[in-house]
């Protein structure tokens, strides 16, 4: 039925549902000026700055919290916590402490000339100065039972997603009011309008990007739904690869960014995933890495074919373990359990070591096979819709509902990676396997009898290594030669072992005669060039 709705009707339906859900999840309007025992307030007046801080905390416990690692105050915004930039809200609410003192003096019957009245006026004058307000907040962090929360304790509700309408349970799709004691900080800006909110334009767009393959379109929905979870229990990351430009990847991520906002969705610089020439100093601030704290989906785009992935770091970021980083002005390190699904969008496949089994097991290549153009003429070209971005923007609540349904599907039935993705991943890994390609294209491999290592053929280890490095440089442009330390384990994983007699040999492998002839010719030519240079 939803397929027949116009965009205007969909928008109206979304707004009606948003209003209904927001009303159902509405919180009571809690006032800061809670009714306190006036003698309790007078007692705080007598305790000087500690008393001021204690009164502030009493008035606002559950509505302000301090994070010592960041030296920042948080405020309760209705369904989740938010950062109080420059502590402006907290500083402004010191005025409620002044009001509490004034009310207590009146309620206890003090006249204007009494010592308590004079003390109260003097205190209020102090609290209404910039220095006085700051002192209250500073003292509030160190009194008995302060409103302090550790950075590590924030955003630990891995199966919940905070929205302007309330907190959505990703296991059921139900929306309920937020609770301060759960300390959800990161939230999305998109209204939750119900689990069945439609998004026909997005589903059509995704199907077009996958060249009409419904299984692949459904898988993308499940993958994005899995990305909503704060607990990344599958230990995977995705490379969305399409050699053709304008294939829809950026439109997808821009749409997801609009839905999830800057807290749940993070854009990384590709340098975070690329091997650096010089190792990073672990004690230096890494704000880009810290931006992943609490994020559910993080992506980088456009790696270079000449760059190499930092596989050790990627394994750290996708292994489900703890990540540690420090912001530029932070006093301490912050640690958090991996919460972000990492995605790389690229038209070029960066270099990678395919002999790293741990990395291979985490990596999924997803093909984006089409190109959107104004006048499609080729088989892989599709008609571009220049208004698609606006259409998808109007369906944000519906796309969010689709992602939550995808998340529920993953929790109930698993991710269910299509065979097409597994085959494409295997093909891309094979294309990156320089040693595997050398063996396949340049060598003859002997198959020994079952259970035996008795080979009739063998090649000196040094000779095979030199031939491999020559071929990699000539054919693949690889200017970084393999070393015996890396070459031998790689061959062992492929079932080629060594045996030592007078020299080390690789068993059951020889270079093809025509390749060996070409190698020797190039070697002789290089030697002649060197001789001419010396003369």
| 9 assigned to some structural domain | no
Question: pLDDT for 276-319, tens place per residue?
Answer: 877 777 778 888 899 999 999 999 998 776 788 999 999 999 98
Q: What is d(CA 185, CA 261) in angstroms, rounded to the nearest whole number?
A: 13
φ, ψ at 162 (rounded to 5°): -80, 130
- Do 130 and 228 fall into the same domain? no
Average pLDDT over residues 94-102: 96
* 197 in a structural domain: no
Same domain for 398 and 505, yes or no, is no
State residue 377's pLDDT score: 92
Instruction: Give pLDDT tens digits for 332-341.
Output: 888 999 999 9
pLDDT, greater one: 13 or 515: 515
User: Would you state the pLDDT for residue 29?
Assistant: 41
Tokens of 323: 């990540």
Last residue of a domain, one of 130, 149, 168: 149
Question: Strand 371-373 relative to strand 381-383: parallel, antiparallel, unpaired?
Answer: parallel
Above pLDDT 70, what percent of the chain? 92
pLDDT confidence bin for 466, thresholds 50/70/90: very high
Residue 311 and residue 463: Cα distance in Å, rounded? 29
Q: What whole-number distance in Å separates Cα of residue 379 and Cα of residue 244?
A: 13
* Rg of the chain taking only CA atoms, in angstroms: 32
| Count of beta carbons in the 10 Å neighbourhood of residue 173 | 16
Asked if the structure places residue 363 within a domain, the reply is: yes
Q: What are the b/e assignments for 510-526, b being 16+ CB within 10 Å? A: bbeeebbebbeeeeeee
Question: What percentage of the chain reaches a pLDDT higher than 90?
Answer: 75
**What's the confidence (pLDDT) of residue 28?**
39
Extended beta strands in 140-224, E state? 160-163, 166-169, 175-176
Instruction: Encode pLDDT of 194-235 as tens digits.
Output: 999 999 999 999 999 999 999 999 999 999 999 999 999 999
- The DSSP letter of residue 337 is E
Read off the tokens for 362. Answer: 């985490």
Beta pairing class for 175-176 and 166-169 = antiparallel
pLDDT value at position 24? 45
Domain boundary among 393, 427, 461: 427
The C-alpha angle with vertex 295 and arms to 230 and 327, in degrees rounded to 5, equals 130
Question: Buried (b) or exposed (e) across 51-62, using 16+ Cβ within 10 A?
Answer: bbbbbbbebbee
Q: 441: Cβ–Cβ under 8 A, 6 or more apart, which residues?
A: 471
What is d(CA 265, CA 188) in angstroms, rounded to the nearest whole number? 9
176, pLDDT greater than 60: yes
pLDDT of residue 143: 95
CA nearest to 76, candidates 179, 5, 175, 2: 179
Q: Residue 26: pLDDT band by 50, 70, 90 thresholds? A: very low
Give me the sheet containing 341-346, strands edge to edge: 265-267, 297-301, 341-346, 237-241, 363-367
State the residue for tokens 């509030």.
140
Lowest mean pLDDT of 183-192, 241-250, 418-427, name the range.
Answer: 241-250
107 & 220 share domain: no
Alpha-carbon span 460 to 484, nearest angstrom: 12
pLDDT in tens, 232-266: 999 999 999 998 889 999 999 999 999 999 999 99
Domain match, 447 and 514 both: yes
Taking residues 80-100, what's their average pLDDT? Answer: 97
Over the stretch 484-502, which tens digit does the pLDDT of each residue have?
999 999 999 998 999 988 8
6 domain residue, yes or no: no
Q: What is the distance between the alpha carbons of residues 262 and 297, in angstroms, rounded to a whole number?
A: 10
> Do 368 and 428 form a contact (C-beta atoms < 8 A)?
no
**What pLDDT sits at residue 276?**
83
**In this structure, how many other beta carbons lie within 10 angstroms of the beta carbon of residue 488?**
17
Cβ atoms of 246 and 372 closer than 8 Å: yes
Q: State residue 13's pLDDT score.
A: 58
Taking only the tens place, the pLDDT of each residue in 162-171 is: 999 999 999 9
Band (pLDDT 50/70/90 cuts) for residue 2 is very low
Residue 388 shares a structural domain with residue 243: yes
Note whether 479 and 422 are same-domain residues.
Answer: no
- Given a cut of 60, whether residue 1 has pLDDT beyond it is no
CB 487 within 8 Å of CB 465: yes
pLDDT of 439? 96
Q: CB–CB of 269/342 below 8 Å?
A: no
Q: Are residues 456 and 364 in the same domain?
A: no
Q: Is residue 13 domain-resident? A: no
CA dist 488 and 486 (Å) reads 6
In a domain, 295, yes or no: yes
φ/ψ of 66, rounded to 5, equals -110, 135
The band of 5, judged by pLDDT with boundaries at 50, 70 and 90, is: low
Backbone angles phi, psi at 45, to 5 degrees: -60, -35
Identify the burial level of 207 via C-beta atoms within 10 angstroms of its C-beta, where 0-12 means exposed, 13-18 middle and 19 or more buried: middle
393 and 253 belong to one structural domain: yes
Asked, for residue 262, whether it belongs to a domain, the answer is yes
pLDDT of 32 > 50? The answer is no
3-state secondary structure of 253: helix
Based on the fold, state whether residues 377 and 462 are members of the same structural domain: no
Q: Tell me which of 149, 171, 189 is where a domain ends.
A: 149
How many domains does one find in the chain? 3
Q: Dihedral of CA 182/188/191/197: which sign?
A: negative
3-state secondary structure string, 382-436?
EECCCCHHHHHHHCHHHHHHHHHHHHHHHHHHCCCCCHHHHHHHHHHHHHHCHHH
In this structure, are 262 and 384 located in the same domain?
Answer: yes
Per the structure, the complete domain to which residue 519 belongs is given by 433-534
pLDDT for 4:
54
Whole-number Å distance between alpha carbons of 107 and 255: 57
- Summary mean pLDDT of the chain: 90
Verify that 422 and 454 share a domain, yes or no: no
Same domain, 259 and 365: yes
19 band by pLDDT with thresholds 50, 70 and 90: low
- Tell me, yes or no, whether 69 lies in a domain: yes
Higher pLDDT: 432 or 419? It is: 419
């Amino acid at each position: 039925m939803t397929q027949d709705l116009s965009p205007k009707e969909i928008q109206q339906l979304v707004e009606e549902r948003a209003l209904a859900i927001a009303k159902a999840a509405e919180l009571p309007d809690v006032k800061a000026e809670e009714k306190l025992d006036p003698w309790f307030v007078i007692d705080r007046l007598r305790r000087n700055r500690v008393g001021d801080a204690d009164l502030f905390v009493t008035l606002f416990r559950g509505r302000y919290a301090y994070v010592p690692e960041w030296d920042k105050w948080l405020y309760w915004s209705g369904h989740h916590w938010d950062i109080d930039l420059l502590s402006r809200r907290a500083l402004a609410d010191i005025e409620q402490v002044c009001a509490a003192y004034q009310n207590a003096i009146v309620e206890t019957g003090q006249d204007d000339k009494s010592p308590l009245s004079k003390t109260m006026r003097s205190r209020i004058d102090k609290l209404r100065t910039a220095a006085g307000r700051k002192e209250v907040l500073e003292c509030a962090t160190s009194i008995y039972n302060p409103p302090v929360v550790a950075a590590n304790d924030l955003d630990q509700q891995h199966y919940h997603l905070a929205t302007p309408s309330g907190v959505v349970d990703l296991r059921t799709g139900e929306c309920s009011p937020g609770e301060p004691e759960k300390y959800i900080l990161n939230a999305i800006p998109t209204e939750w309008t119900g689990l069945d909110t439609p998004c026909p334009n997005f589903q059509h767009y995704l199907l077009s990007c996958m060249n009409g393959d419904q299984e692949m379109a459904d898988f993308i929905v499940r993958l994005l739904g899995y990305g909503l979870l704060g607990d990344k229990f599958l230990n995977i990351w995705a490379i969305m690869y399409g050699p053709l430009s304008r294939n829809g990847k950026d439109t997808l991520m821009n749409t997801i960014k609009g839905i999830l906002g800057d807290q749940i969705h993070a854009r990384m610089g590709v340098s975070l995933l690329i091997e650096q020439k010089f190792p990073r100093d672990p004690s230096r601030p890494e704000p880009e890495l810290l931006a992943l704290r609490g994020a559910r989906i993080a992506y980088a785009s456009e790696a270079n074919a000449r760059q190499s992935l930092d596989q050790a770091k990627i394994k750290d970021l996708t292994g489900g373990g703890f990540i540690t980083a420090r912001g530029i002005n932070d006093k301490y390190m912050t640690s958090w359990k991996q919460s972000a699904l990492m995605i790389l969008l690229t038209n070029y496949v960066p270099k990678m070591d395919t002999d790293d089994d741990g990395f291979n097991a985490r990596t999924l290549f997803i093909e984006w096979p089409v190109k959107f153009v104004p006048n499609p003429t080729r088989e892989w070209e599709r008609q571009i819709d220049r208004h698609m971005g606006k259409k998808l923007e109007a369906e944000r609540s519906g796309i969010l509902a689709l992602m939550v349904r995808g998340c529920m599907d993953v929790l109930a039935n698993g991710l269910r990676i299509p065979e097409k993705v597994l085959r494409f991943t295997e093909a891309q890994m094979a294309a990156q396997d320089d040693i595997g390609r050398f063996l396949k294209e340049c060598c003859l491999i002997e198959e020994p009898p079952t259970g035996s290592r008795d080979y009739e053929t063998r090649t000196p280890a040094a000779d095979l290594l030199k031939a491999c490095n020559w071929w990699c440089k000539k054919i693949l442009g690889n200017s970084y030669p393999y070393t015996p330390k890396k070459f031998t384990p790689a061959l062992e994983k492929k079932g080629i072992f060594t045996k030592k007699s007078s020299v080390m040999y690789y068993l059951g492998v020889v270079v093809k005669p025509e390749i060996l002839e070409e190698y020797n010719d190039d070697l002789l030519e290089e030697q002649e060039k060197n001789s001419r240079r010396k003369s």
